[in-house]
Amino acid sequence: MPQIQIPSPLRQYSGKQASVDVAGNTVGEALAGLVSQHPDLKRHLYTDDGKLRAFVNVYVNDEDMRYLQKEATVLKDGDTISIVPSIAGGGL
Amino acid sequence: MLKLTRSDYFALRQHGEETYPHECCGVLLGRFDDGGAKTVWRIARCANTRQDSPQNRYHIDPKELIRIQREGRERDEDIVGFYHSHPDHPAQWSVTDLAEAHWFGCSYVITSIERGVAAITNSFELAGTDEGDKKLVDEKTEVA
């Protein structure tokens, strides 16, 4: 069963859990399972039209899912999905 | 409130001096205290991947962040904030800093570097409930 790592700012919406085990054969199914278990996470991860927010990075183990098969990426037993909001900014 | 050890405080300022005239960046690891304060146990330096405009932009590779997050979990640490520098620019958050801030409840520490020397270090907490109402608010820093 894949495990999803929850970053610290989103744990208030995941029952304070740092990781959540979800069912799912693909990344998309796993993320759907996550928001099904914790509906308050949905608006932080997805736009109103159901697209993953641009600043939300999703990694399967150490690979960016954008460079795999995105949400159709097939998961293996023991895979870890990490949700990582982007870190950026600058003086101007 | 953000609590930092003196050595971490000076280390993040020194990082900004070393990368001048480019922005430095890094991660603050520690614990969210019950009273709402954050205690930093250690800092992790990161590379600024914004090669196109490193003098006024920073970006941390998510892959590096995942590694730091994983190491933190093994030590029972959370990511409680981030730091970066503003070379020859005030230690105040910019419109870009706010637009690119997404870690609610975390600290964003900014150090102004004036002609290569660390000047002022300020901390701001990302407050609000979502992208629509977020704001960076002044946060007291305790260095001990």
Average pLDDT over residues B23-42: 96
Q: Which residue is it, tokens 């409130």? A: B1
Burial B87-111 (b: 16+ CB within 10 A, else e): bebebebbebbeebbbbbbbbbbbb
Kindly state whether residue A92 falls inside one of the protein's structural domains.
no
Chain B partners of A53 at a C-beta cutoff of 8 Å? 131
Kindly state whether residue A26 falls inside one of the protein's structural domains.
yes
Cβ of A87 within 8 Å of Cβ of B50? The answer is no
CB contact residues (below 8 A), chain A span 26-65, against chain B: 43-44, 53, 55, 57, 59, 62, 64
What residues pair up with B121 in beta bridges, in sequence order?
A: B111
pLDDT in tens, B84-126: 999 999 999 999 999 999 999 999 999 999 999 999 999 999 9
Chain B partners of A64 at a C-beta cutoff of 8 Å? 62-63
CATH number at residue A80: 3.10.20.30
Kindly state whether residue A12 falls inside one of the protein's structural domains.
yes
How large is the ipTM? 0.92
Kindly state whether residue A8 falls inside one of the protein's structural domains.
yes
Domain count, chain A: 1
State the best of B22, B64, B65 to mutate against chain A, taking most chain A CBs within 10 Å.
Answer: B65
Nearest to A24 by CA among A66, A73, A83: A73
* Domains in chain B: ranges and CATH: 2-143 (3.40.140.10)
What is the C-alpha to C-alpha distance for residues B2 and A29, in angstroms, rounded to an integer?
Answer: 38
The radius of gyration of chain B's CA atoms, rounded to the nearest angstrom, is 14
Q: Looking at the predicted structure, is the pLDDT value of residue B34 above 90?
A: no
Cβ of B59 within 8 Å of Cβ of A87? The answer is yes
Mean pLDDT of chain A: 94
Residue A11 domain boundaries: 3-85
Distance from CA of B139 to the nearest CA of A (A): 17
Nearest to A58 by CA among A91, A89, A24: A24
CA distances from A52 to A11, B15, B55 (A): 18, 34, 30
pTM of the model as a whole: 0.96
Kindly state whether residue A90 falls inside one of the protein's structural domains.
no
pLDDT in tens, A13-47: 999 999 999 999 999 999 999 999 999 999 999 99
Alpha helix positions (H), B25-132: 62-74, 95-99
